[in-house]
């Protein structure tokens, strides 16, 4: 086993463990940080496959921008963690079945795609850089899917911002419509109070008691 294979197994193991911690962490901020670790491990795997552009895009776009948005939304939303985690173990069997099904489907697709009789010959591979080949695949053959993904991301961004602006109990805000309709009588209330108040009898008795006993200690 060469050094590249060792690095592959190391980064793949870190990626699997980080992915598991994303769905098992109790704190959503910790889950987002584990997702950052999984993105970094995936970028390392892309580097081992000599797909430098994908690795750099994964770090700059997802770790540098998308994860910042995730943390912003998680910190701005008033999420009740205990309420969300209720019934976690109840739905675990269904989630495990769905996860195993997805893994089997991905394995079938990968094994079917990378069979020895389906791999292209060495002389049929274009002598182009990974960036140029990626651009040809995205902007020529799969441009419609790329545009649909961009629209979905924009909708998700707008939805995240809209969720942060929902009504919260501890938030204070002004309503301009009600401020314009207010009248002077609603802003100021005049209260009539007497100018002189009667001194209570208990206060009047105190100085008389002191004057009756001049030898008392003033302290």
* pLDDT, tens digit, 9 for 90 and up, residues 8-31: 999 999 999 999 998 888 777 888
* pLDDT, tens digit, 9 for 90 and up, residues 78-125: 666 666 667 767 878 888 899 899 889 888 877 776 665 555 554 444
Q: Which two tokens stand for residue 188?
A: 């100021």
Could you name the CATH architecture of 1-80?
A: Up-down Bundle (1.20)
Res 123: pLDDT: 46
CB contact at 8 A, 73 and 35 = no
Res 127: pLDDT: 59
The span from the CA of 93 to the CA of 107, in Å, is: 21
Res 65: pLDDT: 78
Average pLDDT over residues 120-131: 57
Res 151: pLDDT: 94
Average pLDDT over residues 167-194: 76
Burial of 179-214, coded b for 16+ CB within 10 Å and e otherwise, reads: eeeeeeeeeeeeeeeeeeeeeeeeeeeeeeeeeeee
Using the predicted structure, report yes or no on whether residue 201 has a pLDDT greater than 50.
Answer: yes
Res 44: pLDDT: 92
The span from the CA of 178 to the CA of 195, in Å, is: 36
Q: Element (H or E) spanning 216, and its range?
A: none
Res 115: pLDDT: 61
- What mean pLDDT is reported for the chain? 77
Strand residue runs (E) in the chain: none
The DSSP code sequence of 125-145 is: S----HHHHHHHIIIIISHHH
Tally of CA atoms within 13 A in the half-sphere of 112 that contains its CB: 6
Task: Tell me, rounded to whole angstroms, the distance of Cα 182 from its chain centroid.
Answer: 40
Using the predicted structure, report yes or no on whether residue 207 has a pLDDT greater than 80.
Answer: no
> How many other C-beta atoms are found inside a 10 Å radius of the C-beta of residue 38?
21
Q: Which two tokens stand for residue 89?
A: 């173990």
Q: Between 192 and 147, whose confidence is greater?
A: 147
Task: Tell me, rounded to whole angstroms, the distance of Cα 90 from its chain centroid.
Answer: 25
The span from the CA of 63 to the CA of 35, in Å, is: 9
């Amino acid at each position: 086993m060469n050094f590249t294979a060792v690095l592959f197994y190391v980064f793949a193991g870190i990626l699997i463990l980080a992915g598991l911690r994303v769905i098992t962490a109790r704190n959503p901020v910790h889950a987002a940080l584990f997702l950052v670790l999984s993105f970094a491990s995936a970028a390392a795997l892309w580097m081992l496959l000599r797909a430098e552009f994908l690795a750099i895009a994964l770090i700059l776009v997802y770790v540098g921008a998308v994860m910042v948005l995730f943390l912003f939304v998680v910190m701005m939303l008033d999420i009740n963690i205990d309420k969300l985690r209720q019934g976690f173990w109840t739905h675990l069997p269904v989630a495990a079945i769905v996860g195993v099904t997805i893994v089997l489907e991905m394995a079938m697709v990968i094994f079917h795609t990378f069979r020895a009789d389906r791999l292209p010959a060495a002389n049929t591979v274009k002598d182009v850089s990974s960036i140029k080949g990626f651009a040809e695949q995205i902007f020529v053959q799969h441009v419609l899917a790329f545009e649909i993904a961009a629209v979905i991301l924009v909708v998700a961004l707008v939805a995240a911002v809209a969720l942060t602006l929902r009504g919260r109990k501890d938030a204070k805000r002004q309503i301009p419509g009600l401020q314009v309709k207010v009248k002077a009588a609603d802003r100021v209330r005049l209260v009539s109070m007497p100018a002189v108040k009667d001194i209570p009898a208990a206060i009047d008795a105190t100085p008389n008691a002191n004057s009756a006993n001049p030898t008392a200690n003033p302290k």
